[in-house]
A = this chain, B = another copy of it.
Amino acid sequence: MTYPSRVKLVDVGPRDGLQNEKQPVPAAVKIELVERLQAAGLRHIEVTSYVSPKWVPQMADNAEVMHGLKRRSDVVYSVLTPNVKGLEACLSAPREEWPQEIVVFGSATEAFSQKNINCSIAESIERFAPVVQMAREQGIHVRGAMSCTVGCPYEGEVAPEKVGHLARLMKDIGVQHVGVADTIGVGTPGKVRAAFEATLAHYGLDEVSGHFHDTYGQALSNTLAALEMGVWQFDTSVAGLGGCPYAKGATGNVATEDVVYLLHGLGIHTGIDLDALIDAGVFVSQALGREPNSRVSKAIRTKRCA
């Protein structure tokens, strides 16, 4: 079995992870989290989003976070900008506070698109097109997050054709990279493989990443299946931050700690210091008043105390 020799993890904890928190997290905590992640070796971090504070009040401090961050020159900072207004707000900051990458998101299923962003897939693509164009004109890289590529809370199983269709629409409007997301964590390796195959008809192996939720504990198996296909980029979330709004109390994003342990065990280089990463997860979890949602974090911290 051959795997990529090197994997890049994109920590989405500060954005995707914290956007559903009931208690708003202070900007200072978010900034320290990003800085701890980059100190631990993460080189790509999803920091915040520029969406209406009416819908996502947790990210209302986006400009404050982008402004306060002590940047490293070797780290890519991403933000979510689902519409022109959001991108304009983002670009109204001084250039040195711009992200190098923006993220737009679409759903592979109509039902999720309607429920999540209140429009059809086609309408969402129409809405993203000028965002993508404006970002690329400014030299900003554009990533597309494809939701519900293996399962949908409303439609159930998702045919790979729907994933391929969304990937093609993303490609058509100039999205440079797409993430294959198992938004509700129901996938298993065969289904994940099919979703990637459909995506790889439109994007190269260097232009795709995996984004797996661990709701059913399958995220690492799915990661392994993707690695076996040569996929070398994955979204993960420190301390497993981020619940799944469709399964209350269930786990959300796969924990960065758990993926790093898997990768290092396979001899794959990540550049990440697992101990420093665990500490970053403990830091943010303490700020949230709970335990890190990572088995590796728990096992290693138990060992530290032994």
- A216 touching B299, Cβ below 8 Å: yes
- A216 touching B258, Cβ below 8 Å: yes
Within the complex, the shortest CB–CB distance from A54 to chain B, in Å, comes to 26
- A299 touching B250, Cβ below 8 Å: yes
- A190 touching B266, Cβ below 8 Å: yes
| Stoichiometry (number of copies) | 2
Question: Number of A residues whose C-beta is below 8 Å from B?
Answer: 40
Is A84 on the interface with B (CB-CB < 8 A)?
A: no
Closest to A244 in B: B299
- Cα(A216)–Cα(B224), bound, Å: 15
Is A249 on the interface with B (CB-CB < 8 A)?
A: yes
Within the complex, the shortest CB–CB distance from A226 to chain B, in Å, comes to 12
Is A63 on the interface with B (CB-CB < 8 A)?
A: no
- Cα(A218)–Cα(B223), bound, Å: 11
- Cα(A188)–Cα(B263), bound, Å: 8
Within the complex, the shortest CB–CB distance from A243 to chain B, in Å, comes to 11
Is A296 on the interface with B (CB-CB < 8 A)?
A: yes
Chain A 213-240 near chain B by CB (<8 Å), digits 1 or 0: 0111110110111001000000000000
- A265 touching B217, Cβ below 8 Å: no
* Segment 193-216 of A: residues with Cβ below 8 Å from B: 193, 214-216
Take A1-B228, A190-B267, A299-B185 as given contacts and tell me if A217 and B216 are in contact as well, using a CB distance cutoff of 8 Å.
no
Is A49 on the interface with B (CB-CB < 8 A)?
A: no
Interface hub of A191, A216, A223, A248 (most chain B Cβ within 10 A)? A216
- Cα(A1)–Cα(B194), bound, Å: 12
Closest to A213 in B: B299
Residue in B218, B228, B265, B266 whose beta carbon sits within 8 Å of that of A261 in the complex: B218
Is A136 on the interface with B (CB-CB < 8 A)?
A: no
Is A189 on the interface with B (CB-CB < 8 A)?
A: yes
Closest to A223 in B: B221
Within the complex, the shortest CB–CB distance from A105 to chain B, in Å, comes to 23
- A265 touching B303, Cβ below 8 Å: no
Take A221-B220, A247-B302, A299-B250 as given contacts and tell me if A1 and B215 are in contact as well, using a CB distance cutoff of 8 Å.
no
- B258 touching A187, Cβ below 8 Å: no
- Cα(A251)–Cα(B303), bound, Å: 13
Closest to A187 in B: B265
Could you pull out 18 A-B pairs where Cβ atoms are within 8 angstroms?
A: A1-B225, A1-B228, A185-B299, A188-B264, A188-B265, A189-B262, A189-B266, A216-B295, A217-B255, A218-B258, A220-B220, A221-B223, A221-B262, A247-B299, A247-B302, A248-B302, A249-B298, A250-B298
Residues of A in contact with B (beta carbons under 8 Å apart): 1, 185, 187-191, 193, 214-218, 220-221, 223-225, 228, 247-251, 255, 258, 261-262, 264-267, 294-296, 298-299, 302-303, 306
- List the 10 closest A-B pairs by CB distance, nearest first: A188-B265, A217-B295, A220-B221, A217-B258, A250-B299, A221-B224, A215-B299, A247-B302, A216-B296, A216-B299
